[in-house]
Amino acid sequence: MSTVAHSFRGSRTVISGVLRTNGGRIGLGLLVITFFIALFGGFFAPYSPYETLGVPGAPPGNGHLLGLDFIGRDVFSRLLYGGRSTLVLAGLATILTYSVGGLIGLVAGFSRSKIDPILMRSVDILLSVPALLVILLLVTGFGSGSLVLVLATSLVLMPGVARIVRSATLEVSTRGYVEAAIARGEPTRALLLREVLPNISGIVTADLGLRFSWSIILIASVNFLGIGIQPPTPDWGLMISENRVVIGSNPFAIVAPSVVLAMLIIAVNLVGDAYVRQLDRSSGSE
């Protein structure tokens, strides 16, 4: 219990340190803005994201803040609706990635047996396959639904998570308090939950932001290629792809979703970088 409490207090110190840095504050501000747009923007949309309202590719004007897209739909309305799919799918992919990859890393790092090389060699094989190829194979074989996109993204990111969690677990599992708990005969599950996980939580949290931003990039890239979310669903990555034909008449149809995607990725990276810096300072001061 004391280990968990100490970890919790350390996490609060690091988080408060993040808020004291310029990068952390800017990143958090951008994160709040983009999350608000993605999750609640649809409630403020002036038009339906599916309704054709005028001349395709029309520039801003006549009640359309960002003009019309390639078939005459309101770009601003589709922008407000389009972040939800990206955010939800990236979040689910990140959770699934850590659920599977984190478990593999924990088992491999703590087992100190033949299970470790078996698991990690399997992970290395998957890591050697290009990410886009894995996604293309799964989408080609099972279709382009949201579930397939989440599974494919998780499969691509899982090997990196497994390696990081394994390394952190290996380092923690050799410490005195873990060896003392083993000597007391505590079950493996209790050891992992009470002794190992609280002491690798900082590393996991720092890496979580990185995996989330990579999930966003991968999902947006796949949607841009047209093999992920399918029309007419509003999606930021898909909006960039489908409006290339009207970039001359209404560049806002591409610039607007590109900007909010960039804001989201930059925000996650700024917060993650500030967190890692504060975590290093906190560890160095102990």
Range of the domain at 165: 10-285
pLDDT at 6: 46
Task: Tell me if 5 is assigned to some domain.
Answer: no
Residue 69, domain member (yes or no): yes
- For residue 24, the domain's CATH number is 1.10.3720.10
Longest dimension (CA), the chain: 75
pLDDT score for 25: 87
Per residue, the 3-state secondary structure of the chain, as one string, reads: CHHHHHHHHHHHHHHHHHHCCHHHHHHHHHHHHHHHHHHHHHHHCCCCCCCECCCCCCCCECCECCCECCCCEEHHHHHHHHHHHHHHHHHHHHHHHHHHHHHHHHHHHHHCCCHHHHHHHHHHHHHCCCHHHHHHHHHHHHCCCHHHHHHHHHHHHHHHHHHHHHHHHHHHHCCHHHHHHHHCCCCHHHHHHHHHHHHHHHHHHHHHHHHHHHHHHHHHHHHHHCCCCCCCCCCHHHHHHHCHHHCCCCCHHHHHHHHHHHHHHHHHHHHHHHHHHHHHHHHHHC
User: Is 3 domain-assigned?
Assistant: no
Q: Please, which contacts does 4-7 make with residues 24 or more away whose CB atoms are closer than 8 Å?
A: 4/194, 4/198, 6/198, 7/198, 7/199, 7/201, 7/202
Beta carbons of 260 and 79 less than 8 angstroms apart: yes
Number of domains in the chain: 1
Residue 128: inside a domain? yes
pLDDT at 110: 84
Q: What is the per-residue pLDDT for 263?
A: 92
| pLDDT for the residue 262 | 92
- 1 assigned to some structural domain: no
Per-residue pLDDT of the chain (286 residues; tens, 9 = 90+): 444 444 445 455 556 766 778 888 898 899 999 999 999 999 999 999 999 999 999 999 989 999 999 999 999 999 999 999 889 999 999 999 999 999 999 888 888 778 888 888 888 888 888 888 888 888 888 877 888 889 999 999 999 999 999 988 888 887 877 777 777 777 778 778 787 888 888 788 888 888 998 999 888 888 888 888 888 889 999 999 999 999 999 999 999 999 999 999 999 888 888 887 777 666 554 5
Sign of CA dihedral 66, 69, 72, 75: negative
Domain assignment present for residue 4? The answer is no
The whole-angstrom separation of Cα 4 and Cα 195 is 8
Contact 175, 117 (CB under 8 A): no
Residue 281 falls inside a structural domain: yes
119, part of any domain: yes
